[in-house]
Amino acid sequence: MTKATPSKATVKTKSAPKRAYRDLHEHLKALDAAGLLITVDRPINKDTELHPLVRWQFRGGIAEPDRKAFLFTNVVNGKGKKYSIPVVVGALAANREIYSMGMGCKIEDIGATWTHAISHPIKPNVVTDAPCHDIVVQGKDLLKPGMGIDSLPIPISTPGWDNAPYTTLSQYITKDPETGIQNMGIYRGQVKSPTRLGMNPSLENQPGIYTHWEKAKAKGQKLAAAVILGCPPSVAFTSAQKLSEDTDELDVAGGLAGAPINVVKCKTVDLMVPAEAEIVIEGYINTEWLEPEAPFGESHGHVNLQEFNAYMEVTAITRRKDAILTSIISQVTPSESSLIKRVALEPVFLNHLKKQLGIKGVVKVSMHEPLTNLRKVLVVVVKRNTPPTEVWRALYGAAALLRSGGKMVVAVNEDIDPDNADALLWAMSYRANFALDLQVLQGRDPGHGPRSQRNGGVDGSLLIDATLKDDFPPIALPKREFMENAKAIWEELNLPKLKPEAPWFGYSLGDWSERNEQMAQRAVKGDYFITGEEIAKQRRRDVPMNTEIKHVMTEQGLLGKVIENKAKAKAKIKTKAALKTKK
């Protein structure tokens, strides 16, 4: 490494440490090979064009599997300044396939991979030579034009509303002043000057950094911090995970990667950061003063208006020679921000209900994503015939896990697609009796989003048991075999590609007799006149219109058995009397 001079950054050329996981560059190569990366080489204005361009794939009717990552290699700002650092958006969670490639597992194994990583953390490997220290700028050099934060192509996320560029996929690393345990979480950072970065702690979602800030404040100290702008996918994914405050996310990132994450000590603060980080901003968060921060388009889908929040005084910026700044699409959901959280949090909910609370009937937990942004609507999928007490325990448990989660929590059975809002309304309409199956929890935090002052700013949670409590007639769609046969004909005719939505075939919900099945089988074979003859023999004139046959037939069947039993009893009496007479 060459020595720093007053006029330029420190640059080193040593090789990177060994590792058993992909860094961001290798991940992008894999995405490119899979046809999941779009590279844009023409000039793109980071302040007005970059995020709106990528936004279209989330608001333009493009299905999730068809979304891509975007790499911008020719980034400029609103004044025409050109940046040497590319920007990538969508590289972590534009869709589940991209996410699973970053995880190194199949899509269907994401949940199990997370569960294993959380329960099997691996301590990091400390190194002294790291790619993130290829270029180091610190001290007074940060104030030189184009050497501080102004050297970084940080985009404006919601042009027309945001008051500055903001770091979005920015992992803030801080250390508990009492325990020494590091915490890593994703928080936005407003660009305020070449050496000043705003910080919103998102208190209701990830209190780790806020707890550290309060402890440092109580000690009269500033809080050391490092902000990561681009890193190996396993590290980025873990920063979005909900973990206990006594857990270092870098340990869990190792569990996710299946090997220790290389970490290196920062240049100006006492913190460990990923050695393969793309860009690291080091500094101290002021614990005495707060200053206005925002407006900024937030992940709850509204513009977060100005608040008093903390800010960081930058002491160093380090980066790789070939650094790529990672940004993320957030704001109105679905978005990359919501997907990266969703696939991480859903396994946590399932593990909490099944293992920590011991509710065996829970099959899945789904966080509703479009517009509501995950936390507001939770769907708990349970097996049929799960005891009502266990269903309610699951509803309470899901509502309690996150401080800002579960404004509406709905329990449904396995035949309901929790990602289909129409299916949820269907289940609530026909399977829930709101006089019996609805409860409201008082005294809840309103959580992430605009805060109404009604009820003193205190909200509530709505819990709905929309599971089946009775046997119902079948779903009124053709049986599966007939729908599958028709689908084959559809494809044979080269008609538009189908995207089946559950329910797309009929199935029994318990109320379906052998006689009904026999009549249905006759119908598809063309033998329905036989049924007509049987029906003619069952005519009645002692019942009103719309009387359900099953109730009459049941009563008739019971009455028949009573008559039959009486006849048998009389026959026995006659037989006994006859025998006595003979004797």
pLDDT for 570: 56
Q: How many residues does the chain have?
A: 583
pLDDT at 451: 74
Phi and psi (nearest 5°) for 194? -60, -15
| Per-residue model confidence (pLDDT) at position 581 | 52
pTM for this prediction: 0.81
How far are the Cα atoms of 393, 428, 469 from residue 381, in angstroms, in the given order? 13, 13, 14
Closest among 146, 151, 130, 127 to 12, alpha carbons compared: 130
* 454 CB-near residues (< 8 Å, 6+ apart): none
Planar angle of CA 262, 265, 266, nearest 5 degrees: 120
Pick the CATH number of 10-327 from 3.20.20.450, 1.10.3710.10, 3.40.50.620, 2.30.110.10: 2.30.110.10
What pLDDT shows up at residue 561?
Answer: 45
Tell me the C-alpha distance between 408 and 394, whole Å.
13
Q: What pLDDT is attached to residue 65?
A: 93
CB 60 within 8 A of CB 54: no
Low-confidence residues of the chain, pLDDT below 70? 1-16, 202-207, 448, 553-583
* Amino acid identity at 467: T
Bridge-partner residues for 296, per DSSP?
304
Would you say the CATH fold of 357-465 matches that of 10-327?
no
DSSP H helices, 158-307, are: 208-218, 233-239, 249-257
Residue 46 neighbours by CB under 8 Å, 6+ apart: 72, 75, 76, 77, 83, 87, 153, 154, 155, 156, 165
Residue 163 CA to residue 432 CA, distance in Å, equals 46
Question: Which pLDDT does position 558 carry in this prediction?
Answer: 42
Domain boundaries, given as residue ranges, for the chain: 10-327, 357-465, 480-536, 544-576
Dihedral sign from CA coordinates of 39, 41, 47, 52: negative
Contact of 314 with 149, CB cutoff 8 Å:
yes
Q: Residue 449 in 3-state DSSP?
A: coil
Distance between CA atoms of residues 246 and 205, nearest Å: 16
Which residues, at least 6 apart from 136, have a Cβ–Cβ distance to it below 8 Å? 4, 9, 10, 11, 12, 267, 316, 317, 318
CATH of domain 357-465: 3.40.1670.10
Q: What is the pLDDT of residue 562?
A: 40
